[in-house]
Structure 1
């Protein structure tokens, strides 16, 4: 008898996860590796009991809670230390606190608040969790008027608080302080986690689940983002990207609207560029639904779009498969043509379970997305610093000064990357970048060192496209480029001086050492906020890529395609030069179809995506194995007479499985606690040598036994 790991099995115990505040229930027993039990004070029973409930079911148990908000009423209402702390909320110009819930303000992280947070992580460590997640370090751009914040301002800057609405400089300094406050807060709590867990003979890991830099910038929130990767006690991130963030409208071709796939692709990309050079671990999140009540159809279409986008990053293979599974399985939402709200349909539940269980098999891959690589858009954490309030008529609708450089490339099938300016000192950051595009209309460099590094890269052969009129009011904030020995009118002038370019350079291109610089006196938003505004931009990119960088032909297309092991991930964009569908031919299982059909051809229309299992890429073709399933498969045993395994998934859902066998099966049984279950699907496909098997899921596990002929 032989035991082995098939494609359905996992090498790592910590590859997939979900976050949950509710106690364990068979109805949403997702069967990922990790259950991140949420909150100490949540209204869902005793914390230690919740931890034990998930651990007893075989999960690696970890702890997640908010760092800027949470069920911390005992702190805010004075039960914890006898003092009322509601005055530590984030306050707007009108004097009102910004609330996350009743008696739950977004917080200015004071020393006493951090002392309180340490009691939470201590309790979690004492309960035996192996990692701490402090999520969403968020300071609203429109906040910054509380006494608590004024005090922090005086401590940090050494001069009195300035009202941020009164000048660009006050806005910029206010955001810079907000950024620093949560950097310091996480540094302090993570340092405590490390020292306390080591005192108990363990090394508890620390992660920050956070929205992308693009999303926080467009939602007018300040957060420490990329700088956290340099913290000693920081092990990694969860990239909180889902329909709710990715449906934020963006401009293209003069129209602002939801472009969910493109936005998700750029959001995940900004998280990768933040972490990749530093080697920090990253989990990608998707959510089969979202916070805003929409219809199930809407959820499904956008789930497929965001799910495809996350899989197009072959260097990431860790996933938070969903937040709040109880909400997904027990919640009711709109269905077109029905008055009453409806729970998740059996078909969508099955499809979702096929998708999330496939993530347990998803390999890292050295394969690249099809298309022209090596084009990057430069981002900085300071994207978050100049988006509130409006000064001197400055406006950047929907973050168009950032999206203006990226969306036109995506719409032409170019797999554009984002590059974090804060990571330039790391030699891996620009290693594969041939053409870099940047602007200071949307952000400002926080250090002169970045210009030294860019200058060195250009002189060694890099090609830079600089876009910007450099006339926004934030060019004049009191910063390194206009203080001390520097008196530049704009930060770009410092970079140009290093490159030997006239600081006030008009539209022109310049040969610099082995490299080249293009100066274009347009703000990036001008490329996308009017129809056809990107034509000259694409022509410049083509020239920079092909002629200057000598990087090969610039491939223009309307699709993205990637193979990862047996998985094929594809997306076709609309608003592209071509409106042709992408047609794939081969032998596939369609993983977006809850019937798991076998296809020899898949036609992918513009604005849609596909997720396929390539039957021609199966390893160990002579071994019985589960190829795709709406359940987690374990305890596989195979010999000449039979193939058996246990399938676990949330109870009251339908399982569907596509199983490779050497030939048509003899008898098949599915048992729960020794009793036979009804097999409602038993179809043999001779050509693919696969069995389609269906029965009801049970979280305890269904024992499947297939007699081999």
Structure 2
């Protein structure tokens, strides 16, 4: 494992409690969570342990009762709570005094005052979490005022028409972008003026896929237009990725496939920029009713999905480690409560420290490597309601469990988000590494589409916010790209008052303008048309239809193959498979899917260390069954170096080796069992652990064939010295 400085900030976690030895994960940085009187002391406690210390706080909700109740500036601000149509406040969790907020200028100024003490305490960065405005909101007095200021017209109830809903959602995204820009700019200036110290700002946010599916509006790619923001955390975990979707007519949880798509769109958010992205994992999740085995299985799925996107190598390894290592959850039979299983705790720590080593220059895709993109825009969040249908009582309300009570078929269909998954799951399930591509970035970055040869687009669930997107897409096609357009123009949101139907030229849908830019008639029939060096394949059907049956899924896959063949490029090919596999340096990452072309396992032969096993065993034949994942360290990797630590469930420091001994120091959560596998050129005569001046022998297992050594030990408070004495 590479030695690295904590200043590199490859791994971190968020924690609201004071420093605790029992959940000290020994990552590079910690995000002290929450603004209250204990915040400065908590910051100093974590700093004293050697961490890079950041602050994280909710930007759309929090314990801000002094603001709501008027103690802050002398007036009540409850009119700024997000509200449903019936006047009920939209609350976070189960506490009625913590509503989601309309981000007014006054609220932004309040947050500036609240966060300033963290700057005074010397944090290195600030994370403003989850800028969220619920689709069902838009009825508070504050929002009505913001509507009048933004649109220069009286407020229109969002449920009255698609046009009102679309423009209410656009306003919601704008308001949180304004709030974040005001906050970050003001506090960056304060830090420089007061302390001559630069300050960084990051936004932890769910994926665009999840926010759209859960019917939440957030700025997402709009944040790229704010120079005051330095990056993001992709908040993707079991709770988001296990949200059910439909494939071949069956609604079910598909945690790996959904996470694969979610991490993909978040990687796209920063591709080609200098902004930082951390991928989040959660070894449990917010819903406390699942078993430890359920948490473990789904954690492996999300972790593996993230590692299959090598453009990101920074990770938030866990939110709330105290909840993980001190919390109690149901055991294997689903009854009772118990602490984290010993072996799961060891595996978690092993994986956490392996994540700090994922910035590998040697990346190799094993299997299909053709880049196929499905375009997705922020505007998908803007059209998640249809007029004349009540949904607030039957749709998702976040209460810490992600439970949804669906009372009608319409609500079920809306939450499925099949218009998107119908264009992605049929391809992902057959081993095509589809990536959601941020449509809004096409106009931000001139070469954004250069690495793609085939793109899939539909305006039946989103809209292009600017007409010049079509000029860029048309040029990409003429230069040799294959564009598959899916849609029958039946979406009622085509009629919202936007650029394609305003001004001198009117189009019934934005598709008609796109086709004009491609040199085609708006009423062109379905089929394939050569355009310059590229082509357009037009499928005039609803995109959600491809999720409805196996026959429909096959029809869509046939269309994709037809477009690939039309490019007449042997490099653009697709061999159906039921797995994804990727090498990142010595690490081999693989996932085998169910509901695919067959139910065969993936069999690997070689010499590996299994990082999903707490004993870090050496395995020469690995079998990954459908529905399972694997993370392996390849001992035969030619650039491995055959020196140092291969894997360890500890932070390791001060590694030295000579002909007589190996010495290093380990740190980790107190009393948690740990393991390490180390290269050792000769069978050792002894292994010892040194704690507080006391020495004790350690059991070890030496493997002569691989010249590696396995040791097991228990973490103690502080740094512990381990010594391996050679023959």
Q: TM-score, normalised by structure 1?
A: 0.96
Alpha-carbon distance between aligned partners in 1 of 2:386 and 2:512, rounded to the nearest angstrom: 26
Segment of structure 1 superposing worse, 252-261 or 196-205? 196-205
Structure 1 contact 8–627 (Cα < 8 Å) conserved: no
Q: Does 1:685 align with 2:703?
A: yes
Matches within 5 A, 1:448-597: 448-548=467-567, 550=569, 551-597=571-617
Alpha-carbon distance between aligned partners in 2 of 1:91 and 1:303, rounded to the nearest angstrom: 34
- Shift of the 177–339 alpha-carbon distance from structure 1 to 2, 3 Å rule, reads same
Segment of structure 1 superposing worse, 554-563 or 257-266? 554-563
Structure 1 contact 62–131 (Cα < 8 Å) conserved: yes
Aligned residue for 1:26?
A: 21
- Unpaired runs of 5+ in structure 1? 1-5
Structure 1 contact 654–696 (Cα < 8 Å) conserved: yes
Q: Does 1:600 align with 2:620?
A: yes
Q: Which string of whole-angstrom CA distances, capped at 9 and with x for unpartnered residues, describes residues 510-559 of structure 1?
A: 11122111111111110012232111211111121133252433221111
Matches within 5 A, 1:17-96: 17-41=12-36, 46-96=38-88
Q: Does 1:286 align with 2:273?
A: no
Residue 7 of structure 1, CA deviation:
3.1
Alpha-carbon distance between aligned partners in 2 of 1:481 and 1:184, rounded to the nearest angstrom: 26
Q: Which string of whole-angstrom CA distances, capped at 9 and with x for unpartnered residues, describes residues 16-41 of structure 1?
A: 11011100000000000001101112
Alpha-carbon distance between aligned partners in 2 of 1:249 and 1:602, rounded to the nearest angstrom: 30
Structure 1 contact 678–695 (Cα < 8 Å) conserved: no
Alpha-carbon distance between aligned partners in 2 of 1:396 and 1:531, rounded to the nearest angstrom: 21
Alpha-carbon distance between aligned partners in 1 of 2:8 and 2:359, rounded to the nearest angstrom: 14
Structure 2 contact 686–697 (Cα < 8 Å) conserved: no
- Shift of the 447–328 alpha-carbon distance from structure 1 to 2, 3 Å rule, reads same
Aligned to 1:195, what secondary structure does the other structure show? helix
Residue 8 of structure 1, CA deviation:
5.5
Alpha-carbon distance between aligned partners in 1 of 2:303 and 2:185, rounded to the nearest angstrom: 34
Q: Does 1:188 align with 2:185?
A: no
Aligned residue for 2:230?
A: 235
Aligned residue for 2:166?
A: 172
Aligned to 1:304, what secondary structure does the other structure show? helix
Matches within 5 A, 1:89-108: 89-100=81-92, 101-108=95-102
Residue 578 of structure 1, CA deviation:
2.4
Residue 675 of structure 1, CA deviation:
1.4
Structure 1 contact 8–626 (Cα < 8 Å) conserved: no
Aligned residue for 1:441?
A: 460
Alpha-carbon distance between aligned partners in 2 of 1:638 and 1:10, rounded to the nearest angstrom: 20
Structure 1 contact 372–555 (Cα < 8 Å) conserved: no
Aligned to 1:129, what secondary structure does the other structure show? coil
- Shift of the 188–236 alpha-carbon distance from structure 1 to 2, 3 Å rule, reads same
Q: TM-score, normalised by structure 2?
A: 0.94
Paired residue for 2:318, among 319, 322, 327?
A: 322
- Shift of the 490–631 alpha-carbon distance from structure 1 to 2, 3 Å rule, reads same
Alpha-carbon distance between aligned partners in 2 of 1:516 and 1:338, rounded to the nearest angstrom: 54
Q: Which string of whole-angstrom CA distances, capped at 9 and with x for unpartnered residues, describes residues 281-300 of structure 1?
A: 10000000000121111000
Alpha-carbon distance between aligned partners in 2 of 1:539 and 1:319, rounded to the nearest angstrom: 37
Residue 314 of structure 1, CA deviation:
1.1
Structure 1 contact 168–391 (Cα < 8 Å) conserved: no
Give the CA RMSD over aligned residues. 1.6
Aligned residue for 1:420?
A: 438
Aligned residue for 2:637?
A: 617
Residue 585 of structure 1, CA deviation:
0.7
Paired residue for 1:671, among 675, 690, 703?
A: 690
Alpha-carbon distance between aligned partners in 2 of 1:356 and 1:593, rounded to the nearest angstrom: 13
Aligned residue for 1:3?
A: none
- Unpaired runs of 5+ in structure 2? 390-409
Alpha-carbon distance between aligned partners in 1 of 2:362 and 2:505, rounded to the nearest angstrom: 45
Alpha-carbon distance between aligned partners in 1 of 2:349 and 2:560, rounded to the nearest angstrom: 42
Structure 1 contact 375–416 (Cα < 8 Å) conserved: yes
Structure 1 contact 435–549 (Cα < 8 Å) conserved: no
Aligned to 1:384, what secondary structure does the other structure show? helix
Structure 1 contact 419–429 (Cα < 8 Å) conserved: no
Aligned residue for 1:347?
A: 343
Residue 98 of structure 1, CA deviation:
0.5
